[in-house]
């Protein structure tokens, strides 16, 4: 990647801290902040890439206009200061910090300009293990810190972080969803491969049923690709220019015997935003009855269907607009927070996020996530557990632990939307 023309001051304050004093286990920490809406906070994206058996590179992109530019003395240039601190753990249950460092970036060239900083830092992560990376990004002039957690997959050369999509200019692409015809190249970090394979899957996965329905087929996926073909790698281990032209998802892997790889998707134009009346009508599935939903989807004019639905349940145009904005903000947030091989709002965590909102508390282990609504530990608190399910297309695939006991909770929450 070409180095940015930013004037950067990079200070390596602390490198390779092995055997540090133990911190609190993340399993006891409330991680609900990870699922807060991106609105009103700095826009930051991260992309891990395993560049060798011992090093993982963490690319990040952030909009400089989201940071405060200030000057220490009159006459000096306005300057933004960003500090990135990371800590690497073996798992959510681990106390030991494997690697950590702090880096500082300063910018005085892009005051009041629309500029996106793209940079990277390296993490010492050995092959044949997976890791948890905690990143604190601090706007030093404001004193605001944004914390995020990422998993690094490095247990085999088939893991998704041995691939990275790049723009034709060589910059990393930070999301796994693409527009039709959007050009990209794929770089492979695994050694000794002259070609990779791409499998195309056209299946559109259904919307999950409510959490009280015990449906053994919920989350089932057809693992048979519609088509599979090889793609040659260049000398620098990159593909030629590729595009995703048909709706569905595409899995890239090192060989045909491997189940894992990197999955990219083309869902619809403009994703993750909800742009059309048809998309708005489709996303009403969770708060409509089956017959009502089928009638909505049968309208020749989806906009008429959507407007009529919200006006009927709200009573007045003003209240209808308030409910509509709130609902579709959650749909779009779910698309961003729970990216998968389907639209984020169609995942089981996305479903619960839309209906119940941001949990008061989220607790995680390596293969388990608990959402709590209310005061954690109180008798009145509502708890929903999500289990990570092995899925070759995405390592971040969670299904809710279903229970008939959720029926009243679900219908009470749905009724709140329809009052």
pLDDT in tens, 118-144: 999 999 999 999 999 999 999 999 999
| Alpha carbons 312 and 247: distance in angstroms, whole number | 34
Please work out, in degrees rounded to the nearest 5, the angle formed at the alpha carbon of residue 4 by the alpha carbons of 17 and 233. 85
Bridge partners, 59 (sequence order): 47, 120
pLDDT in tens, 91-124: 999 999 999 999 999 999 999 999 999 999 999 9
pLDDT of residue 216: 64
Best CA proximity match to 80, nearest among 45, 116, 46:
116
Phi/psi-derived region of residue 4, left when phi > 0, alpha when psi is between -120 and 50, beta in every other case: beta
* Helix (H) or strand (E) segment spanning residue 334: helix 317-337
* Helix (H) or strand (E) segment spanning residue 410: helix 407-418
In this structure, of 13-22, 66-75, 82-91, 398-407, the range with the lowest mean pLDDT score is 13-22
Residue 12's pLDDT band, with cuts at 50, 70 and 90, is: very low
* Contact between residue 188 and residue 161 where contact means Cβ atoms under 8 Å apart: no
* Contact between residue 273 and residue 283 where contact means Cβ atoms under 8 Å apart: no
* Helix (H) or strand (E) segment spanning residue 370: strand 368-373
**For strand 55-63 and strand 44-50, is the pairing parallel, antiparallel, or unpaired?**
antiparallel
* Cis omega (within 30 of 0) for bond into 272: yes
| Alpha carbons 418 and 276: distance in angstroms, whole number | 22
Bridge partners, 48 (sequence order): 58
DSSP 341: S
pLDDT of residue 203: 72
CA distances from 297 to 210, 265, 272, 300, 304 (A): 19, 24, 21, 8, 11
286 pLDDT above the threshold of 60: yes
40 pLDDT above the threshold of 70: no
pLDDT in tens, 387-415: 999 999 999 999 999 999 999 999 999 99
Best CA proximity match to 242, nearest among 144, 152, 173:
173
30 pLDDT above the threshold of 60: yes
Residue 10's pLDDT band, with cuts at 50, 70 and 90, is: very low
| Alpha carbons 278 and 285: distance in angstroms, whole number | 12
- Decide: residue 261, CB within 10 A, 0-12 exposed, 13-18 middle, 19+ buried: buried
Query: Can you tell me the mean pLDDT for 338-360?
Result: 95
How far out from the chain centre does Cα 75 lie? 42
pLDDT of residue 215: 72
pLDDT of residue 339: 87
Q: Which CATH superfamily is domain 26-152 in?
A: Immunoglobulins (2.60.40.10)
pLDDT in tens, 213-246: 987 665 567 778 999 999 999 989 999 999 999 9
| Alpha carbons 200 and 229: distance in angstroms, whole number | 9
pTM score of the predicted model: 0.90
pLDDT of residue 37: 82
Q: What does the radius of gyration of the chain's CA atoms come to, in whole angstroms? A: 23
Residues across the chain: 419
pLDDT in tens, 300-329: 999 999 999 999 999 999 999 999 999 999
Domain residue extents for the chain? 26-152, 277-418
Q: Return mean pLDDT, the chain.
A: 90
369 pLDDT above the threshold of 70: yes
Annotate 188-248 with DSSP letters as a single string: E-SSS-SEEEEEEE-PPPPPPPPTTS--TTTT----S-SEEEEEE--TTSB---B---SSE
């Amino acid at each position: 990647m070409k180095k940015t023309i930013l004037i950067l001051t990079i200070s390596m304050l602390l490198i390779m801290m092995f055997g540090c004093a133990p911190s609190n286990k993340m399993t006891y920490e409330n991680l609900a902040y990870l699922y807060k809406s991106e609105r009103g906070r700095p826009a930051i994206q991260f992309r891990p890439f395993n560049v060798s058996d011992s090093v993982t590179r963490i690319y990040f992109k952030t909009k400089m206009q989201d940071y405060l530019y200030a000057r220490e003395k009159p006459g000096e240039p306005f300057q933004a200061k960003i500090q990135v601190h990371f800590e690497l753990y073996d798992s959510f249950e681990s106390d030991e910090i494997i690697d950590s460092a702090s880096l500082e970036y300063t910018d005085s060239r892009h005051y009041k300009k629309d500029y996106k900083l793209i940079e990277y830092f390296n993490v010492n992560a050995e092959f044949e293990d997976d890791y948890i990376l905690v990143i604190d990004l601090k706007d030093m002039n404001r004193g605001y810190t944004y914390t995020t957690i990422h998993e690094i997959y490095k247990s085999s050369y088939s893991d998704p972080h041995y691939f990275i999509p790049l723009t034709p200019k060589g910059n990393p692409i930070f999301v796994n969803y693409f527009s039709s015809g959007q050009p990209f190249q794929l770089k492979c970090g695994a050694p000794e491969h002259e070609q990779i394979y791409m499998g195309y899957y056209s299946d559109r996965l259904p919307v999950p049923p409510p959490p009280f329905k015990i449906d053994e087929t919920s989350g089932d996926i057809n693992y048979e690709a519609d088509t599979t073909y090889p793609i040659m790698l260049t000398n620098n281990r990159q593909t030629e220019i590729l595009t995703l032209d048909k709706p569905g998802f595409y899995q890239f892997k090192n060989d045909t015997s491997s189940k894992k790889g990197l999955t990219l998707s083309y869902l619809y134009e403009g994703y993750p935003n909800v742009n059309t009346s048809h998309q708005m009508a489709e996303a009403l599935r969770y708060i409509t009855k089956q017959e009502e939903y089928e009638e909505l989807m049968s309208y020749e004019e989806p906009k008429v269907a959507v407007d009529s639905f919200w006006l009927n349940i709200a009573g007045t145009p003003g209240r209808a607009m308030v409910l509509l904005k709130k609902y579709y903000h959650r749909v779009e947030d779910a698309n961003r927070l729970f990216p998968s091989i389907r639209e984020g709002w169609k995942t089981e965590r996305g479903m619960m996020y839309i209906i119940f909102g941001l949990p008061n508390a989220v607790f995680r282990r390596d293969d388990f996530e608990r959402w709590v609504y209310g005061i954690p530990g109180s008798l009145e608190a509502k708890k929903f557990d999500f289990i990570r399910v092995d899925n070759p297309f995405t390592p971040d695939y969670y299904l809710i632990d279903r229970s008939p006991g959720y029926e009243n909770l679900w219908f009470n929450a749905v009724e709140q939307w329809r009052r």
